[in-house]
């Protein structure tokens, strides 16, 4: 977990949002009458493995926080791109309710990404330099 309070709080807040996203995704599946099936995502696993490898090489807390922030943003960017694709598919297939729910999730992912950028620009990057 990050040492800096702003980043720690951002991670905690986004964890709560992620739990809500899971519930909203259940609503998406219910709206299209398809049972949800969980699958591992190789792309996200790769981002996480890369992050763990990088963090294992860093001892300084501020530098670790910057690396955590960068890794979190990589995850956010991936999620945003996936939501964009899913929204387009839902709209093309006439699943308006599913598209609406997915848009809500994507909006929160974009907000989380912007918040992480704000934390970085408020001085976290300079502390690590």
pLDDT tens for 41-78 read: 999 999 999 999 999 999 988 889 999 999 999 999 99
Residue 71 and residue 54 in contact, taking contact as beta carbons nearer than 8 Å: yes
Dihedral sign of CA atoms 66, 72, 78, 81 in order: negative
| pLDDT confidence of residue 87 | 98
- Of the candidates 68, 76, 63, the residue with the CA atom closest to the CA atom of residue 129: 63
Q: Structure pTM? A: 0.87
Does residue 123 carry a pLDDT above 90?
A: no
What is the arithmetic mean of pLDDT over 11-20? 93
CATH 1.20.1260.10 fits 5-33+42-128, yes or no: yes
| pLDDT confidence of residue 4 | 72
Of 7 and 77, the one with more pLDDT = 77
């Amino acid at each position: 977990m990050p040492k800096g309070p702003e980043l720690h709080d951002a991670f905690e807040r986004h964890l709560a949002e992620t739990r809500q996203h899971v519930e909203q995704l259940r609503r998406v599946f219910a709206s299209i009458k398809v049972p949800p099936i969980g699958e591992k995502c190789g792309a996200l696993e790769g981002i996480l493995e890369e992050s763990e490898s990088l963090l294992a090489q860093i001892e300084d807390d501020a530098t670790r926080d910057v690396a955590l922030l960068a890794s979190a943003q990589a995850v956010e960017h991936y999620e945003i791109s996936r939501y964009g694709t899913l929204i387009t598919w839902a709209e093309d297939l006439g699943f308006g309710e599913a598209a609406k729910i997915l848009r809500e999730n994507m909006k929160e992912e974009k907000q989380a990404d912007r918040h992480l950028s704000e934390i970085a620009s408020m001085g976290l990057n300079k502390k690590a330099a």
